[in-house]
Structure 1
Amino acid sequence: MIDVIGPWNRAHHQATLDAMFRLRHQVFVEELGWHLPLARDGMESDQFDGPRTVYLVYRDALGRVAGSMRLIPTTDPHVLGDVFPQLCSGPVPRSPAIYESSRSCIAGFARSGDAQGTIWGALTCGMIEFAMLRDLDCITAVMERRMVAMAKVANWELEVLGPVLEIAGTDVVGVRMPIDPAALDTVRRQRRVPDPVLQLRFAAAA
C-alpha cells in the first residue's frame, strides 16, 4: 500500500517524511550525483517541498520506505513552471485542477528484487488514483523522453508540451498526463499492482 501524506496529516508522519527525504538524498545525490544545493545532512528537499505538497510513500513488507513521489499543485511554485518553462511551447499548464509529479524514486534495496517494476507501477497507480479522487484534469511532469514511449505500452497517451532538452546527457521533455482510468487498469495488470493502492482517510483531505 501507499501512504498519502499531505497538509491534512503531515504533523503525524514526520518520521516517514524524514525517511523519504533520506531516500531522495540516497537516490538523487549519492547515486545519480545531482547537484542539489539545498540537500544537506543526508536529506534532500528543495523549495518545492511546500506546505501544500502531497507525498505518495511506498512501504515494503517490512515497513521500510522503498519508494516515493511528490505531487505539487501547479498554482504553487513547481519544477516545470519555475525551472523548465522552456519545455513548454505555449503557456505552462497551471490550474487548481492540475498537479505536477516530481522526485519519483525507488530505493536501491527494493529495485534489486522488483524485476516486474511493481513499485514503479504502484506509485503510478497511486498518482492516478489520487488525481481521480481529487477530480484533477491532468498531471504534468518533467520526465525522460524514453518514459513517454514506455507509457504508450500501457495505452497511456502522454502529451509532450514542447521541445526536448538535454540535461546531463539525458533527453527530457515536459508532459501532460491525462487522468485515464483505462491506463490505470492497464498499469495495474502489467505491473501486477493490487487494486487500489492508496492508504488514506480522504474525508480529511478533500
Structure 2
Amino acid sequence: MIDVIGPWNRMHHQDTLEAMFRLRHQVFVEEMGWDLPLARNGRETDQFDTARTIYLVYRDEDGAVAGSMRLIPSVLPHVLGDVFPELCSGPVPRGPAIFESSRSCISRKARRKDPNGMIWGALTCGMIEYAMLRELDFITAVMDRRMVDMARVADWHLNPLGPERRIAGGGVVAVTMPIDTHALDTVRLQRGVPDPVLSLRFAGARAA
C-alpha cells in the first residue's frame, strides 16, 4: 500500500518524512549528483517542501521507506512554475484542480529487487488514485524525455507543454498527465500493480 502524508496527518509521520528526505538525498545527490543547495546533513529538501505538500510513500516488506513521490498544488510555488517555466510554450498551467508531481525516487535496494518497475507503477497508480479522490483535472511534471516515450508505448499518453530542452546533460519536457480510469488501468496492467494501492480512504483528504 501507498501511504499518503499531507497537512491533515503529517504530525503523525515525522519519522517517515525524515526517512523519505534521507532517501531523496541518497538518490538525487549521492547517486545522480544533482547540485541541490538546500540539501545538507544527508537530507534533501527544497523550498517546495512546505506544510501543504503531499507525499506518497512506498514501504518495502520490512516497513522501510523504499520510494516516494511529491505532489504540490499548482496554486503554490512549484518546480515547473518557479524553476522551469520556459519548458511551457504558453502559460504554466495553474489552478485549484491542477497539482504538480516531482521528486519521484526509489531506493537502490528496491530497484535491484524490482526489475519490472512495479514500485514505480505503484507510486504512479497512487498518484492517479489520489488525483481522482481530489477530483483533479490533471497533474503536471517535468520529466525525462525517455519516461514520456515509455508512457506512450504503454498507451498512457502524456501531453507535452512545450519542446524538449537540454538541462544538465539530459532531455527534459514539461507534460500534463491525464487523470482517468484509462490511465489508471493502463499503468496497473503494464506494471502488475494491485487494485487499489492507496491506504487513504477518507473524505477529509479531498478538502485538505
TM range (shorter): over 0.9
TM-superposed CA distance for 1:17, in Å, is 0.2
Partner of 1:197: 197
TM-score (norm 1): 0.98
TM-superposed CA distance for 1:115, in Å, is 1.1
Partner of 1:169: 169
Structure 1, unpaired ranges of 5+: none
Partner of 2:63: 63
For 1:195 and 1:121, locate their aligned partners in 2 and report how far apart those are by CA, in whole Å.
Answer: 12
**SS in structure 2 of the partner of residue 8 of structure 1:** coil
User: 1:132 aligned to 2:160?
Assistant: no
Partner of 2:112: 112
**SS in structure 2 of the partner of residue 99 of structure 1:** strand
Partner of 1:16: 16
For 1:6 and 1:81, locate their aligned partners in 2 and report how far apart those are by CA, in whole Å.
Answer: 21
**Equivalent position amino acid for 2:173 in 1:** V
**SS in structure 1 of the partner of residue 163 of structure 2:** coil
TM-superposed CA distance for 1:190, in Å, is 1.6
RMSD (Å) for aligned C-alpha atoms: 0.8
Which one is further off, 184-193 or 22-31? 184-193
* Conservation of the 8 A alpha-carbon contact between 2:74 and 2:93: yes
For 1:184 and 1:76, locate their aligned partners in 2 and report how far apart those are by CA, in whole Å.
Answer: 26
TM-score (norm 2): 0.97
Which one is further off, 152-161 or 78-87? 152-161
* Conservation of the 8 A alpha-carbon contact between 1:141 and 1:174: yes
For 2:172 and 2:180, locate their aligned partners in 1 and report how far apart those are by CA, in whole Å.
Answer: 23
For 2:190 and 2:182, locate their aligned partners in 1 and report how far apart those are by CA, in whole Å.
Answer: 12
TM-superposed CA distance for 1:203, in Å, is 2.6
Partner of 1:33: 33
TM-superposed CA distance for 1:186, in Å, is 1.6
Aligned residues with identical type, % of pairs:
75
TM-superposed CA distance for 1:178, in Å, is 0.9
Partner of 2:4: 4
TM-superposed CA distance for 1:183, in Å, is 1.9
**Equivalent position amino acid for 1:52 in 2:** R
Query: After TM superposition, what 4+ stretches of structure 1 lie above 6 angstroms from structure 2?
Result: none
**Equivalent position amino acid for 2:200 in 1:** L
* Conservation of the 8 A alpha-carbon contact between 2:156 and 2:187: no
For 1:94 and 1:68, locate their aligned partners in 2 and report how far apart those are by CA, in whole Å.
Answer: 23
TM-superposed CA distance for 1:55, in Å, is 0.1
* Conservation of the 8 A alpha-carbon contact between 1:87 and 1:164: yes
* Conservation of the 8 A alpha-carbon contact between 1:154 and 1:183: no
